Structure 1
């Protein structure tokens, strides 16, 4: 079977199994927030509503867990199983992506690699990996949210060196864009590895966990790289977007 067949489903199932095993050691109460599987009809409805095909591995993931459910906020919910308030279910993917796309207002003077290079150098924009910082990009699908402040996207129009469907963490308020993984499967594996490391040696893991679950800063731009351009912007001549 090719990589577009049953082996993809198997790898996703293995990755989710590792995530669940890690959570059972660290945050067992969070497991109740993992939703049951989505149906093929529900997944197809997402693609039809957003006019974009979802990566096979993300479809496979939805057939295992259709997002997560934080439940009621009163009393306080169980800790989240992910470094977000929730992963979107199929209905929330449609709703949140439409809201995201409503914020797309093309600005040729600003949506330019030269300007991004200028802003990164002056620590007004943080880019970690091959991602174009275009708010509301129609080539993205929202798959997770943290109180409306931080979102995870599937990015189908990556910067040079990126992979269509890569997973990006976006904090619009902080102007921070981070490529978490080149695919959904690799994101799950990365998260599983950090859960396993946390269980063995918390100080060595990239995860920070409190009573609410893993902190949303997981995967965000390292402080010591602020002001440094990512590889794909290295040879771009910076340009100020401000009138002189």
Structure 2
């Protein structure tokens, strides 16, 4: 069954309501950073500028909160409501995605599942889920960042077994790629659940919060002790060194 537009809107609105309720319990001062809704023309402008169609649930999310705004000074005087410096607004989505694309350059010797398997086996690359570790891939949209180093992407070209529009956390410097959720709606739901755990029993929540800074950006990343394990879609691929 395919969700109608109204159903998508309802699910996203419910998820945001749960997030706001959770933040109200554990980080009430962060709520002021949630932006007002984006007007439809601004969302349409993102699609036109990037020559792509945003997932319906992400469009619905922008109609509730057009990203977050930490203010003119970083770090913000208030804690962030998300495990990033900020979620991008419509203008920042265009800017950050263009910067991402500027880093793209085909590398046949490296952009190969056999090479990725080799790097994962040696702990030089971490892949958690069905994601292709290609920096600058034009099928991705940047929707959030931490210091410009850790990014959240909507992945339009997932690896086998993935879902177009899945949310990926990328730490380029650490060579870590983690699929956070198969869709933006499910990402919001996962975050809402972990916020609820923080208020009920902080020790059981994978979300760690600094009361002065906000949620730690490591949320959703693979622990370093788990590196060296191939994701399912790479399991039977024969490894190849990029140097041979």
The answer to whether the superposition gives a TM-score over 0.5 is: yes
SS of the aligned residue for 1:31 comes to helix
- 1:113-152 pair list within 5 angstroms: 113-152=113-152
Q: Are the counterparts in 1 of residues 208 and 216 from structure 2 also a CA contact under 8 Å?
A: yes
Which segment drifts farther, 18-27 or 218-227? Answer: 218-227
Gaps of 5+ in 2: none
SS of the aligned residue for 1:44 comes to helix
- 1:143-222 pair list within 5 angstroms: 143-210=143-210, 211-222=212-223
2:62 aligns with 62
1:88-110 deviation line (CA, Å, top 9, x unaligned)? 00000000000000000110110
Return the alpha-carbon distance in structure 2 between the equivalents of residues 48 and 76 of structure 1.
32
Q: How much has 1:72 moved relative to structure 2?
A: 2.8
SS of the aligned residue for 1:41 comes to helix
Which segment drifts farther, 227-236 or 71-80? Answer: 71-80
1:225 aligns with 226
- Could you list the structure 1 runs, at least 4 aligned residues long, displaced by more than 4 angstroms after superposition: none
- 1:23-34 pair list within 5 angstroms: 23-34=23-34
Q: How much has 1:75 moved relative to structure 2?
A: 8.3
Return the alpha-carbon distance in structure 1 between the equivalents of residues 64 and 75 of structure 2.
28
SS of the aligned residue for 1:241 comes to coil
User: Relative to structure 1, is the Cα distance of residues 235 and 198 closer, same or farther in structure 2, using a 3 angstrom cutoff?
Assistant: same
1:191-215 deviation line (CA, Å, top 9, x unaligned)? 0000000100001001111121000
1:128-165 deviation line (CA, Å, top 9, x unaligned)? 00000000000000000100110000000000000000
Return the alpha-carbon distance in structure 2 between the equivalents of residues 6 and 21 of structure 1.
22
Q: How much has 1:223 moved relative to structure 2?
A: 2.9
Return the alpha-carbon distance in structure 2 between the equivalents of residues 204 and 123 of structure 1.
28
Which segment drifts farther, 86-95 or 219-228? Answer: 219-228
SS of the aligned residue for 1:117 comes to helix
Return the alpha-carbon distance in structure 1 between the equivalents of residues 74 and 58 of structure 2.
31
Q: Are the counterparts in 2 of residues 123 and 226 from structure 1 also a CA contact under 8 Å?
A: yes
Query: Normalising by the residue count of structure 2, what TM-score does the alignment of the two structures yield?
Result: 0.97
1:242 aligns with 243
SS of the aligned residue for 1:77 comes to coil
Query: Normalising by the residue count of structure 1, what TM-score does the alignment of the two structures yield?
Result: 0.97
2:35 aligns with 35
Aligned length: 243
Return the alpha-carbon distance in structure 2 between the equivalents of residues 135 and 72 of structure 1.
29
1:110 aligns with 110
1:176-204 deviation line (CA, Å, top 9, x unaligned)? 00000000000000000000001000010
Q: How much has 1:225 moved relative to structure 2?
A: 2.0
User: Relative to structure 1, is the Cα distance of residues 30 and 3 closer, same or farther in structure 2, using a 3 angstrom cutoff?
Assistant: same
- 1:89-104 pair list within 5 angstroms: 89-104=89-104
Return the alpha-carbon distance in structure 2 between the equivalents of residues 225 and 125 of structure 1.
11
Q: Are the counterparts in 2 of residues 4 and 56 from structure 1 also a CA contact under 8 Å?
A: no
Return the alpha-carbon distance in structure 2 between the equivalents of residues 18 and 199 of structure 1.
13
Q: How much has 1:4 moved relative to structure 2?
A: 3.1
Q: Does 1:49 align with 2:49?
A: yes
Gaps of 5+ in 1: none
